Amino acid sequence: MKLTWLKWSALPMAVLMVGTAAMAQDQSSSQGSSSPAPATQAATPAAKPDPSIAQRKENQQDRIANGVKSGQLTAGETSKLETKEAAINAETKADRAANGGKLTSAEKTQINKQQNGVSKQIYADKHNANTAQYGNNKVGQRRENQQDRIAQGVKSGQLTAGETARLENQQKGINQQVKADRAANGGKLTAGEKVQVNHEQNRASRNIYRKKHNARTQGGVKPK
């Protein structure tokens, strides 16, 4: 009787041990069959893109505007630089029109080369001995104010390169007239000459306003 009790009490214990062993085997086989997580690949930093044609053009215009504002660029120097910028812009527009709005690699290289030439010219003109300092008299202050307005228009994009070149040629003509009048009068301007210069600056002022407020901008058409 005692022996029978031991036999039946040992049976549940054996079943429990077998079940535990089976569970352990299932867990180990499950872990062994799962493949290890792939190592995370380090992200390769993207190459920094070259400045776009438009951004390069904007940078050049900012440098010219700063030179006009500071007096480092004379009206004549600014006019020549803006004429070159206008030519590059026209070439870029024609190239895009011929290629469905895009530029080929060769055209981009050519434009970049031309902008490099303008960049060197900007630096040379801003660091030579020629400056646009007009003194503290009323005529000089008026011319400086006009140059500031042109510089602001270039900086903001309200004036295209072609418009700026024409405005600067107008200023250049006034400056040459003032210089010749002063040379003929011992360094001074007569009352009549001052009136004439002021009249011409009034016309230049209206011209600056019209060109800054028309539909043309450095980026194309002015948004409404």
Domain boundaries of the chain, sorted by first residue: 53-221
> Which tokens is 146 given?
């006009």
Measured distance CA(28)–CA(22) in Å, rounded = 10
Residue 35 pLDDT: 46
Q: pTM for the whole thing?
A: 0.69
Dihedral angle sign, alpha carbons of residues 51, 57, 63, 65: negative
* pLDDT above 70 for 127: yes
Residue 51 pLDDT: 58
Question: Which residues, at least 6 apart from 69, have a Cβ–Cβ distance to it below 8 Å?
Answer: 147, 148, 151, 152, 155
**Percent of the chain predicted with pLDDT > 70:** 74
How many CB atoms lie under 10 A from the CB of residue 73?
A: 28
* pLDDT above 50 for 40: no
Q: pLDDT class for 24, splitting at 50, 70, 90? A: very low
**What are the pLDDT digits (tens) for 178-193?**
999 999 999 999 999 9
